[in-house]
Structure 1
Amino acid sequence: MAKVNIALDAELVVEVMVLAGINNPQDAVEAIVRDYIARGHRTEARTAGRDEPVRTGEIVPPEPQQG
């Protein structure tokens, strides 16, 4: 996998290290980014299951009622 070097604010990195409980700054930031991506995939999987029939046209959503 390709590596990318970026510069981050030291206070931000220390906060990430404390929250993650990891002593290595690079490992801490990587863990947070991986968790963020995994959480996004889990959210997509949950919402896709509910929206799939509407998206594919299998179920037509009801018309909004005026009242």
Structure 2
Amino acid sequence: MAKVSVSLDAELVVEVMVLAGVGNPQDAVELVVRDYIARGHRTEARVAEREESARDVEIKPEAQQG
């Protein structure tokens, strides 16, 4: 897999390391990015599920009055 180098503010990286409970800056940032991507996929799946459910709902005609 190709690698990319990115410069980040040291305080930001330290905070990510603490929150992720990881001692290596590279691993901590990678965990955050992977989590962000996974959340995006879960959100997409929920939206698709809702849209699919909405299509499956059958609209019943109202009973005629009179």
TM-score bracket, normalised by the shorter chain, equals: 0.7 to 0.9
Specify the code of the residue in structure 2 equivalent to 1:47.
V
**Structure 1 alignment gaps of length 5 or more:** 61-67
TM-score (norm 2): 0.77
The runs of at least 4 consecutive aligned structure 1 residues that moved more than 2 Å come to: none
Local SS of the residue matching 2:6? coil
Q: Number of matched residues? A: 58
Q: Kindly report the root-mean-square deviation, in angstroms, between the aligned alpha carbons of the 2 structures.
A: 1.9
Structure 1 or 2, whichever has the larger Rg, is: 2
- Matches for 1:1-67 after TM superposition, within 5 Å: 1-52=1-52
Q: Percent of aligned positions with the same letter in both sequences?
A: 72
